[in-house]
């Protein structure tokens, strides 16, 4: 999942040693979305990612994250674990798709270029009654 917002708070890093004897570290941040009704989201980077993405208050980022819930002593806890953060430069939008070429007024409604169709010409209502109608419409 992805979300974009501004870092409004950087919490103190947390580290320790697991039961298995492995060192671990975690860095938590508070991100505020840029919506009509902004939401505040607490997320973290765990392990090596805690130092891989050094974010500061005021940074506008696009966060890629996973959500996970787990049970502990009969209560459920949800964590938002970031796995990638890209800094977003305000005003620098993604490149837009190339604009469509302008339509050529002479080509509007014209049949595609190529060899002329063979076979009898289509018959219209005026041709059935023996009348011929001359006009300069392309269709």
Quickly state the pLDDT bin for 119 (edges 50, 70, 90). Answer: low
Does residue 111 lie in a domain region? no
Q: Could you tell me which residue, 134 or 71, shows the higher pLDDT?
A: 71
Does residue 8 lie in a domain region? yes
Q: What is the DSSP letter of 107?
A: G
Q: What's the farthest any 2 CA atoms get from each other in the chain? A: 99
- Looking only at the bridges linking them, the beta strands covering 2-10 and 23-33 are antiparallel
Query: How high does pLDDT run on average in the chain?
Result: 81
Distance, CA of 24 to CA of 38 (rounded, Å): 32
Give 11-47 pLDDT, tens digit per residue.
999 999 999 999 999 999 999 999 999 999 999 999 9
Does residue 54 lie in a domain region? yes
- Looking only at the bridges linking them, the beta strands covering 75-87 and 2-10 are unpaired
Domain enclosing residue 50, as ranges: 2-87
* Global confidence as pTM: 0.62
Distance, CA of 112 to CA of 107 (rounded, Å): 9
Does residue 117 lie in a domain region? no
Does residue 139 lie in a domain region? no
What's the number of domains the chain is made of? Answer: 1
Distance, CA of 79 to CA of 4 (rounded, Å): 18
- Any idea what the CATH number is for the domain that residue 47 is in? 2.40.50.140
């Amino acid at each position: 999942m992805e979300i974009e917002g501004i870092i409004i708070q950087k919490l103190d890093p947390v580290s320790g040693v697991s039961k298995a004897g492995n060192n671990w570290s975690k860095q938590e941040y508070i991100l505020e979305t840029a919506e009509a009704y902004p939401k505040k989201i607490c997320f973290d980077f765990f392990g090596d990612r805690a130092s891989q993405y050094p974010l500061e208050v005021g940074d506008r980022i696009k966060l890629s994250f996973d959500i996970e819930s787990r049970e502990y002593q009969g209560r459920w806890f949800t964590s938002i674990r970031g796995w990638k953060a890209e800094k977003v430069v305000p005003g620098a939008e993604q490149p837009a798709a190339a604009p469509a070429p302008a339509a050529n007024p002479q080509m509007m409604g014209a049949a595609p270029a190529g060899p002329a169709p063979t076979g009898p010409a289509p018959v219209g209502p005026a041709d059935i009654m023996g009348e011929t109608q001359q006009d300069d419409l392309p269709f």
